């Protein structure tokens, strides 16, 4: 059952790529120890209502903002974040009450949504109480880790270089390839521009000729040791000898070199180390808890049916003690398009669903109720009701054909097709499991990066066709069989596994091979990506008839912004917010102290729990 624990992303158990408030840590409080935060401390008032520390911490926890907030070096930055959050809290609370006055909270779909939310937060509470309240990371732990892992805190020496390559097959053999590079060297030594010479003489793809590579860390697995040694034997600006490669010859110029520097054990460094140690210990505790729950409450657990070609919709694939069984048909309805998923992707979704159910049953067994998670539920509840209220105002407005045509004519720039990119991709998977140590996970990423760098170098320097590289290297067996071909697609058609490509859209051009990119889809795809853009179909304007389905959506989005701006102004005028500056400064000061002296990640759990539950737990 280890895969359940590893894939339980809904409760944010992920070990390496977790995003939790892991730096909100307090002293390892025992029974009777005073909380570091006074949850009832009033930070602001509006009308007859108050906003407390507990309210604010719940929002920061749910938004996963603590890791950012506590790494701020300037006390004033923390105070500003608090002040910026308080008006938004008041606004959502007031508008949520407006929604309730319109009885929007009585809608059946809202009730179901809220029941699911409460169940999810109660399952999270089981994890919080049984893991985070047990974990302590001391200053001694942090200092020991720093001493025993010096390589983690030493920034490696880096270097930047560029080169000119000549392939044997392009020049009639090795001897002529060497003569070609000698001619290029003579021009460079005569003072001609490197990039201009490279464009004339290099057999690299046109967009890569003469371009800088790096900075690369010394010892980078993607650079052959003999190449690195030749480059680093040069002074800045000097050229290597002409070097033999499997398919041709090459020489390089060292452009820049930066020595390595060791990171000092500053408060920020301590906080990062504490976060890593905490993650390892939390993972162990969660593993123990989930395995106990699975062993006790599992009745039916058949993930293998997800790959069966003839499975029936009525087949039970999961049953947890005390809950209705889950059939294959219900599973398909919950997760969507199974046909487009790999067997592993189906298994991942199954594991997440299973983990959720096991924890919910345990929460019910312990008698946990909505009262135990009020602050955390309230944030999402107010968020949802505010959105429903704004949508209800939009729905009351009638939209005529004249309105739609007028909007189209005044916003023609919004109604254009997206560019289509003929894309190829090679994915280098970092094979991470929940049982791996931090070092093993780091090594897996290094291996993935090394493979990506090696493939990129063979494509750029050795002339290996991208399609052949995809068949040889790609971890994505589906696209590998097609030479890495993704299709002729818009960016909007690509899923989260292509997240590393999205920021590079403006840089794409026909024939471009994108250097290795760290995959940004942390929930499923861990590793590195290589992309090749073979062609681009530019965007074009849509006619009114073509744009018609989008016009109503665009008008609604515009009205949503306008209505929210009006509501913000109305709430601010009717319920002016009075911030207690002294209380804000006190909270910011304590958050800053957490960064300096914390030794566990339990304090915010204590603050958000009702006092009756704290007394019962003896925490």
Of 29-43, 105-119, 191-205, give the lowest mean pLDDT range: 29-43
Q: Provide the 10 A C-beta neighbour count for residue 535.
A: 12
Residue 118 forms part of a structural domain: yes
Chain segment 250-303, per-residue pLDDT in tens: 999 999 998 888 888 887 788 778 878 887 888 888 888 888 888 888 888 888
Length of the chain: 619
Query: What whole-number distance in Å separates Cα of residue 215 and Cα of residue 56?
Result: 42
Residue 222 forms part of a structural domain: yes
State residue 435's pLDDT score: 64
Of 4-13, 126-135, 559-568, give the lowest mean pLDDT range: 4-13
Higher pLDDT, 618 or 610: 610
Looking at the fold, whether 127 and 170 belong to one and the same domain comes out as no
Percentage above 90 pLDDT, the chain: 35
pLDDT interval class at 161 (50, 70, 90): very high
State residue 272's pLDDT score: 78
Query: What whole-number distance in Å separates Cα of residue 171 and Cα of residue 180?
Result: 8
* Distances in whole angstroms, Cα of residue 221 to Cα of each of 216, 224, 250, 401: 10, 7, 19, 62
Final residue of a structural domain among 512, 537, 562: 537
Query: What whole-number distance in Å separates Cα of residue 357 and Cα of residue 298?
Result: 10
State residue 25's pLDDT score: 35
Looking at the fold, whether 446 and 364 belong to one and the same domain comes out as no
**Token couple for 421:** 């990119």
The residues that bridge with 300 in the sheet, in sequence order, are 319
Grouping H, G, I as helix, E, B as strand and the rest as coil, residue 512 is strand
State residue 592's pLDDT score: 72
- Dihedral, CA atoms, 50, 52, 56, 61, nearest 10 degrees? -130
154 Rama sector, left if φ>0, alpha if ψ -120 to 50, beta otherwise: beta
- When divided into structural domains, the chain yields a total of 3
Final residue of a structural domain among 244, 259, 274: 259
**Token couple for 515:** 């250097």
Query: What whole-number distance in Å separates Cα of residue 91 and Cα of residue 324?
Result: 40
What is the mean pLDDT of the segment spanning 593-615?
A: 63
Residue 49 forms part of a structural domain: yes
pLDDT interval class at 523 (50, 70, 90): low
Domain, as residue range, for 514: 420-537
Looking at the fold, whether 424 and 523 belong to one and the same domain comes out as yes
Residue 301 forms part of a structural domain: yes
State residue 72's pLDDT score: 55
pLDDT at 73 > cutoff 60: no
Looking at the fold, whether 360 and 464 belong to one and the same domain comes out as no
Looking at the fold, whether 486 and 589 belong to one and the same domain comes out as no
pLDDT interval class at 308 (50, 70, 90): confident
Higher pLDDT, 492 or 342: 492
CATH of the domain at 502: 3.10.50.40
As a whole number, the mean pLDDT across the chain is: 83
Residue 47 forms part of a structural domain: yes
Looking at the fold, whether 70 and 179 belong to one and the same domain comes out as no
pLDDT interval class at 122 (50, 70, 90): very high
Please give the angle made by the CA atoms of 590, 594 and 599, to the nearest 5 degrees.
145
**Token couple for 536:** 């681009």
Query: What whole-number distance in Å separates Cα of residue 347 and Cα of residue 338?
Result: 11
Query: What whole-number distance in Å separates Cα of residue 326 and Cα of residue 347?
Result: 14
Looking at the fold, whether 305 and 365 belong to one and the same domain comes out as yes
Residue 524 forms part of a structural domain: yes
Residue 495 forms part of a structural domain: yes
State residue 259's pLDDT score: 87
pLDDT interval class at 336 (50, 70, 90): confident
**Token couple for 593:** 């102290």
C-beta separation of 123 from 93 below 8 A: no
Grouping H, G, I as helix, E, B as strand and the rest as coil, residue 233 is coil
Looking at the fold, whether 27 and 91 belong to one and the same domain comes out as yes
C-beta separation of 416 from 586 below 8 A: no
Residue 562 forms part of a structural domain: no
C-beta separation of 56 from 99 below 8 A: no
Looking at the fold, whether 122 and 24 belong to one and the same domain comes out as yes
Query: What whole-number distance in Å separates Cα of residue 147 and Cα of residue 153?
Result: 10
pLDDT interval class at 65 (50, 70, 90): low
Higher pLDDT, 52 or 61: 52
pLDDT interval class at 481 (50, 70, 90): confident
Looking at the fold, whether 441 and 498 belong to one and the same domain comes out as yes
541 Rama sector, left if φ>0, alpha if ψ -120 to 50, beta otherwise: beta
Final residue of a structural domain among 196, 228, 259: 259
Chain segment 184-213, per-residue pLDDT in tens: 999 999 999 999 999 999 988 777 788 888
Looking at the fold, whether 183 and 125 belong to one and the same domain comes out as no
Chain segment 403-442, per-residue pLDDT in tens: 899 999 999 888 999 899 999 999 998 887 766 666 667 7
* Nearest alpha-carbon partner for 335 in 543, 555, 63, 524: 524
**ω into 215 cis (within 30 of 0):** yes
- Dihedral, CA atoms, 174, 175, 177, 182, nearest 10 degrees? 140
Looking at the fold, whether 232 and 347 belong to one and the same domain comes out as no
């Amino acid at each position: 059952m280890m895969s359940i624990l590893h894939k339980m992303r809904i409760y944010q158990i992920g070990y390496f790529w977790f995003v939790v408030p892991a730096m909100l840590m307090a002293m390892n409080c025992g029974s009777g120890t005073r909380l570091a935060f006074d949850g009832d401390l009033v930070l602001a008032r509006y009308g007859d209502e108050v906003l407390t520390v507990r309210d604010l911490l719940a929002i920061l926890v749910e938004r996963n903002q603590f890791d950012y907030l506590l790494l701020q070096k300037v006390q004033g930055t923390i105070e500003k974040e608090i002040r910026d959050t308080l008006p938004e809290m008041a606004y959502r609370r007031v508008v949520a009450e407006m929604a309730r006055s319109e009885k929007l909270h009585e809608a059946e779909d809202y009730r179901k949504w809220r029941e699911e939310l409460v169940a999810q937060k109660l399952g999270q509470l089981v994890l919080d109480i049984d893991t985070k309240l047990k974990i302590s990371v001391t200053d001694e732990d942090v200092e020991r880790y720093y001493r025993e892992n010096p390589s983690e805190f030493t920034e490696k020496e880096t270097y930047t270089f560029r080169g000119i390559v000549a392939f044997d097959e392009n020049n009639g053999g090795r001897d002529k390839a060497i003569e070609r590079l000698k001619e290029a060297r003579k021009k460079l030594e005569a003072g001609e521009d490197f990039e201009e010479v490279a464009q004339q003489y290099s057999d690299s793809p046109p967009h890569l000729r003469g371009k800088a590579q790096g900075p690369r860390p010394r010892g980078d697995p993607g650079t052959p040791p003999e190449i690195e040694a030749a480059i680093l034997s040069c002074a800045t600006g000097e050229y290597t000898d002409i070097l033999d490669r499997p398919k041709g010859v090459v020489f390089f110029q060292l452009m820049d070199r930066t020595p390595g520097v060791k990171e000092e054990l500053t408060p920020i460094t301590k906080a990062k180390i504490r976060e890593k140690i905490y993650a390892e210990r939390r993972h162990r505790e969660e593993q123990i808890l989930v395995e106990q729950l699975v062993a006790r409450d599992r009745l039916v657990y058949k993930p293998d049916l997800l790959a069966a070609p003839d499975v029936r919709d009525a087949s039970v694939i999961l049953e947890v003690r005390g809950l209705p069984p889950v059939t294959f048909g219900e599973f398909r309805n919950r997760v969507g398009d199974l046909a487009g998923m790999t067997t592993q992707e189906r298994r991942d979704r199954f594991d997440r669903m299973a983990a959720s159910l096991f924890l919910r049953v345990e929460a019910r067994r312990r008698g946990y109720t909505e009262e135990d998670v009020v602050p955390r539920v309230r944030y999402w509840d107010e968020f949802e009701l505010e959105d429903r209220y704004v949508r209800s105002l939009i729905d009351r407005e009638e939209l005529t054909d004249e309105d739609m045509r007028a909007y189209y004519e005044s916003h023609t720039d919004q109604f254009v097709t997206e560019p289509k990119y003929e894309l190829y991709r090679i994915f280098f998977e970092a094979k991470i499991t929940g049982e791996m140590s931090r070092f093993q996970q780091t090594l897996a990423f290094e291996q993935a990066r090394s493979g990506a760098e090696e493939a990129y170098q063979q494509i750029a320097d050795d002339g290996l066709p991208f399609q052949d590289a995809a068949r040889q290297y790609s971890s994505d067996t589906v696209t590998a069989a097609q030479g890495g071909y993704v299709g002729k697609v818009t960016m909007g058609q690509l899923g989260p596994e292509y997240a590393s490509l999205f920021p590079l859209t403006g840089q794409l051009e026909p024939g471009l091979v994108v250097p290795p990119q760290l995959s940004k889809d942390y929930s499923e795809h861990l590793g590195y990506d290589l992309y090749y853009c073979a062609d681009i179909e530019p965007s074009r304007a849509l006619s009114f008839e073509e744009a018609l389905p989008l016009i109503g959506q665009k008008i609604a989005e515009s009205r949503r912004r306008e209505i929210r701006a009006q509501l913000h102004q109305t709430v601010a005028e009717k319920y002016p917010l009075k911030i207690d500056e002294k209380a804000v400064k006190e909270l910011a000061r304590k958050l800053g102290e957490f960064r300096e002296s914390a030794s566990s990640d339990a304090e915010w759990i204590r603050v958000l729990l009702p006092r009756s539950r704290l007394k019962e737990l003896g925490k």
